[in-house]
Amino acid sequence: MFRLKLKLSGFFKHLAIFFAILGPGIITGSVDNDAGGITTYSVAGAMYGYGLIWTLIPSFVVLLVIQEMNARMGIVTGKGLSDLIRENAGLKITFFIFIGLLLSNIGNTTTEFAGVAGSMEIFGVSKYISVPVVAVMVWFLVVKGTYKIAERIFLIFSVSLLTYVVSALMAKPDWTDIGTSLIHPQFEVNTQSIAMIIALVGTTIAPWMQFYMQSSVIEKGLKMKNYKYTIIDIAVGCVVTVVVAFFIMVACGSTLHPNGIQINEAKDAALALKPLAGRLASQVFAFGLFVASVFSATILPLATAFYVSEAFGFEAGIDKKWDEAKEFYTLYTGILIISAIIILVPNAPLIKISIWSQVLNGILLPVVLVCMILLINNKKIMGNYVNKPHQNIIGWGAVIVLTALSVLLLFMPLINK
Amino acid sequence: MTSLTTFYLSGIIGKEAFGADGDAIGIVKDLLVNAAPTGINDPNQQLVIGVKLKIKKESKFYSFKSFIVTKAREVLNVTCTELAEVSPDEINNGLLLVENILDKQIVDMNGRKLVRVNDVRLVTLPTGTFAIAVDIGIEGLLRRIGISIPIKKVLSLFKVNMPSKYILWDDVQAIDHSSLNIRLSKSYAKLHTLHPSDLADILEDLGKKSSMSVFSSLDEEKAADVLEELETRAQIHILENLPVNKAADVLEKMPADEVADILDELEDERAEMLLKEMDTESSQEVRELLEYDDDLVGSIMTTDYLSFSATSTVAEVLVELRSKKPESVELYNMFVIESNDELIGSFNLRDLVVAEPNTSVSQIMRSEPFFLYDDQKTGEIAELVSKYNLLAVPVVDQNHLLQGMVVVDDVVEDLIHERRTKKR
């Protein structure tokens, strides 16, 4: 190995380093396109056609800036975001953030199981079979310690997210129309469309991802020396997120929207694509939804249990025995069971649960972001790697816009009535 | 009023301190305790020596001697007879309960692991105020948020007790000294008593800054043992951030095969820098090992072994062992060589001990020892080791000249790893 390394040079050396570092950004980017995301993008496409595609551009910029900050904090401190928040923001804020995170992620996991149920129904499998099977499978996968392998398999599978590109192309979109709507977005400004924008931004930049990103960076043992490759990794991850989102919106925007078909779930989108873009497009869409849902259903409960434990000082980690890390395993199992059961209850208010977890996300996000920006500007923690002015401008800008959006979202129902 | 008042740190922080005349003086911001400058388990380390008081907009440290904490109907009162500033020296040698302990990670010396502190329990006696324990339980969390009592009441309806967990102050080792310019080796004195494996586990869980400062506080021998036990990622972090001369000193204390393994993971430039800084003898051995590919026996063999000539007597061997004081792994198997290093036999400690002092080595040795070639695949070691129950196997080159030995300890890790990957 030693001799081999000496021989590597130039382009291939760069490539080798990149592949060694590759991961945190791309995995986070893929997990980002979970069932909740796919649903939101589908609904937005069906409802507004290409009208809201432009939101992906600011989302991309903010996502990039935020994830870069997470990576930098992880590399410099070697500490998880929940550790840093607990140590510097005090217990009350920590408590608020993590109880919120716990609740919203139970909601999010429920949405993932809804994705599992919906996509398998397209293939004719009842949710009373698919959901328990997936839940048990996910639980064993993680508790039996093969999680790392699973993560890699999922990463390969997440290529199937690109099936949305296929679905979109099969739908024969009008590219000039898409181009025009990107440059001159046209949509009616009303409470409904603003709510949709909030949902789009909220699903693209979910609070728990910040914690996930930072701990993956630490786990990878990344270094400041190879920082440019980390940036590339993050950028690729963000591009994946946005590209997939773009094609989902295009697919639904070019088929469902012109025909005036309104949908509530991602499953509806898959079903509705069938007569318009063909059976294959519909199944391809459903397969992508299934993989994305299982992937996120694996990562979300685990990550949530981990960060909550970390913040409150419980032993955590899948390498620990049940007795050593009782709170951690209880949390993990609890989130899985509760989410799976909600799906199986007949007539469960799924859409309400999904909306409420997004509202919670919306409230949490600015709080987490403020904590992050304060932490990353703290010289005692970050040394010479504190934020540059332009990073702070984008960071605070995002906080202000997101807070404004969240406040709007909270008060919207009052204005409506 | 009793002479004994127990209270929590969370209860006193933010309280107004009153003067003898009943006027409010300032707000309690932090408490200062002695940071065990004299070492381990000194009763004085528990004593609260100072208090950080915010008077108007300025925060200063005052001696706690003139402060009294009392409790009346579950309400804490802090009174003060005199304001005397604490010397900067005492502040530098002390530990701040809020800044360095509360919400931070500490090492629980009894459980040998990192835990997060939810609260600190203190007691006021006629002789002074002492920190007695840190609270790491859920009860402490809920108390801080202010919902401990209602939840306790609800739980008591179901006859369930809220789990509470405390660690005695004697078993507390603070990690975060970032704000103080204290001498680190002394402030981590308790940690130095831990087993290297435990210490390594703790270092892996610490942040980058803290793990460096804890590691730097270790003496070279201990540092070498700990470095050996660390995960690769942590090893790299330490070796890249430690000053080159200090890192080289530590590496010299480690077996050459371990050093080769670590340097293999480092970037070439850094590895070369460290090799140059190490003394020639150690670095030469390491360089030779680095020549072997990862999957060859040569890459995991150690060059620290004992060899004797066939004509030496048992007595002579024992004398040499006594003077060399070798590590215990070197005694697993000892080798007999010709003057050109050709391997002709092996014997173990038992053979040696049960033999008469004037017997020659050639009489007690096993004349056709099991051996491995240095360019054999590492995968083949396991079979030989388990088939013949060997603890250490000599490694020879194609000319049958002794190059080193493979110790079972180094193989076990690979075996376990291999099995796990196969299962997957």
Domain ranges of chain A: 21-88+106-298+338-411
Which among A77, A146, A315 has the least Cβ separation from residue B208? A77
Q: What is the pLDDT of residue A72?
A: 92
Residues of chain B neighbouring A315 (CB-CB closer than 8 A): 113
Spatial distance between the Cα atoms of B128 and A342, rounded to a whole number of angstroms: 56
The answer to whether the Cβ–Cβ distance between B207 and A83 falls below 8 Å is yes
Tell me how close the Cα of A5 comes to any Cα of chain B, in angstroms: 8
Which of B286, B288, B285, B293 has the alpha carbon at shortest distance from B271? Answer: B286
Residue A358: the pLDDT is 75
Confidence of residue B132 (pLDDT cuts 50, 70, 90): confident
B115–chain A Cβ distance below 8 A for any pair: yes
* Amino acid (1-letter code) at residue A114: A
Q: Domain ranges for chain B, please list them.
A: 5-172, 194-291, 307-423
Put simply, the answer to whether B237 touches A87 (Cβ < 8 Å) is no
Query: Do B135 and B165 form a contact (C-beta atoms < 8 A)?
Result: yes
CA distance A152 to B273: 35
Tell me what pLDDT residue A19 has: 60
Contact A91 B141 (CB under 8 A): yes
Decide if B214 contacts B106 (C-beta within 8 A). Answer: no
Class of domain B307-423: alpha beta
Does B14 contact chain A (CB < 8 Å)? no
A-B C-beta contacts closer than 8 Å: 58
Tell me which of B135, B209, B422 to substitute to probe the interface with A (most A C-beta atoms closer than 10 Å). B209
Q: Using a CB–CB cutoff of 8 Å, tell me whether B144 touches chain A.
A: yes
- Main-chain dihedrals φ then ψ at residue A257, nearest 5 degrees: -60, -50
Question: What is the per-residue pLDDT for A4?
Answer: 40
| Beta carbons of A269 and A118 less than 8 angstroms apart | no
**B249–A contact, CB cutoff 8 A:** no
- Does the structure show a pLDDT above 80 at B161? no
pLDDT at A8: 46
Q: What was the pLDDT predicted at A409?
A: 67
Length of chain A: 417
Residue A9 pLDDT: 52
Number of H helices, E strands in chain B: 19, 20
As a whole number of angstroms, the distance between CA B271 and CA B212 comes to 19
Q: What is the mean pLDDT of residues B285-302?
A: 81
If one compares A179 and B418, the residue with the highest pLDDT of the two is: A179
- Look at A90 and B233 and tell me if their CB atoms are within 8 Å: no
What backbone phi and psi angles, to 5 degrees, belong to A40?
A: -60, -45
Average per-residue pLDDT in chain B?
83
Please report the pLDDT score of residue A337 as a whole number.
94
Distance from CA of B347 to the nearest CA of A (A): 35
Residues 6 or more apart whose CB falls under 8 angstroms from that of A309 comprise: A315, A316, A325, A327, A328, A331
Q: Residue A83: its chain B contacts at CB < 8 A?
A: 105, 207
Predicted confidence (pLDDT) at residue B123 exceeds the cutoff of 70: yes
pLDDT for the residue numbered A17: 59
B151 to chain A, any CB pair closer than 8 A? The answer is no
Cβ distance of B118 and A92 shorter than 8 Å = no
Contact A5 B207 (CB under 8 A): no
Name the nearest CA neighbour of B292 among B383, B395, B399.
B395
Contact of A56 with A238, CB cutoff 8 Å: no
Q: Mean pLDDT per 10-residue run, chain A (417 residues)?
A: 44 60 76 84 87 89 91 90 89 89 90 90 88 91 72 70 78 84 78 79 85 84 81 89 90 84 80 75 83 87 89 81 85 93 84 76 85 90 86 89 77 62
Mind telling me how many Å the CA of A59 is from chain B's nearest CA? 31
Fold assignment, B194-291: MgtE N-terminal fold (1.25.60)
Tell me the C-alpha to C-alpha distance, in Å, between residue B134 and each of A227, A377, B46, B180.
39, 31, 12, 21
CA distance linking residue A172 with residue A156, whole number of Å:
27
Residue type, A335: I
pLDDT > 70 fraction of chain B, expressed in percent and rounded = 91
In this prediction, residue B389 carries a pLDDT of 81
Identify the helix (H) or strand (E) that includes residue A187.
Answer: none
Of the partner residues A2, A77, A91, the one whose CB lies closest to the CB of residue B145: A91
Give CA A408 to chain center in angstroms: 22
Q: What would the mean pLDDT of B71-98 be, rounded to a whole number?
A: 81
List the single best residue of B116, B144, B416 to mutate versus A (max A Cβ within 10 A). B116
Of A6, A146, A315, nearest to B424 by CB-CB distance is A146
Q: CATH number for the A21-88+106-298+338-411 domain, one of 1.20.1740.10, 1.20.140.10, 3.30.160.150, 1.10.20.10?
A: 1.20.1740.10
For residue B54, report the phi and psi dihedrals to the nearest 5 degrees.
-95, 110
Task: Determine contact: B418 vs chain A, CB below 8 A.
Answer: no
User: What are residue B84's phi and psi, to 5 degrees?
Assistant: -120, 125
pLDDT for res A7: 44
What three-state secondary structure class fits A302? helix
Residue carrying the six token digits 């293939």? A123
pLDDT at residue number B58: 83
- Reported as a single tens digit per residue, the pLDDT across B5-59 is 888 888 888 888 888 787 888 888 888 887 654 445 556 667 888 888 888 888 8
Q: What are phi and psi of B80, to 5 degrees?
A: -145, 135
CA–CA separation, B78 and B96 (whole Å): 18
Which residue, B61, B64, B59, is CA-closest to B46?
B64
Pair A71, A217: CB distance under 8 Å:
yes
User: What ipTM is given for this predicted complex?
Assistant: 0.74
User: Would you call B293 and A86 a contact, using CB atoms and an 8 Å cutoff?
Assistant: no
Average pLDDT over residues B173-192: 67
Structure tokens belonging to residue B420: 């796990």
Contact flag B117-A313 (C-beta cutoff 8 Å): yes
Q: Do B103 and A146 touch (CB under 8 A)?
A: no
Q: Are the beta carbons of A1 and B294 separated by less than 8 Å?
A: yes
Q: Which residues pair with B174 in a beta bridge?
A: B106
Instruction: List phi, psi (to 5°) of B67.
Output: -100, 145
A377: Cβ–Cβ under 8 A, 6 or more apart, which residues? A386, A387, A392
Residue B211 with chain A: CB contacts under 8 Å: 78
Give the gap in angstroms from C-alpha A43 to the nearest C-alpha of chain B. Answer: 40
**For range B245-256, the mean pLDDT:** 87
- Judging contacts by C-beta atoms under 8 Å, the chain A residues touching residue B209 are 77-78
Cβ neighbours of B268 in A, within 8 Å: 2, 5-6
Among chain A residues, CA nearest to B240: A223
Contacts of A2 in chain B (CB under 8 A): 263-264, 268, 271, 290
Q: Least CA distance to A149: which residue of chain B?
A: B424
Per the CB < 8 Å rule, is A76 touching B233?
Answer: no
Nearest-CA neighbor of A43 among A317, A297, A272? A272
Tell me the range of A323-327, B85-89, B173-177, B369-373 where mean pLDDT is highest: B369-373
Helices A389-416, A350-376: axis angle to 10 degrees equals 150
Q: What predicted TM-score, i.e. pTM, was given to this entire model?
A: 0.77
Instruction: Please count the other Cβ atoms lying within 10 Å of the Cβ belonging to residue B158.
Output: 6
A83·B290 Cβ contact <8 A: no
Place of tokens 């460096």: B212
Q: Which residue has the tokens 């409010």?
A: B24
A28 CB contacts (<8 Å, ≥6 apart)?
Answer: A67, A209, A212, A213, A216, A237
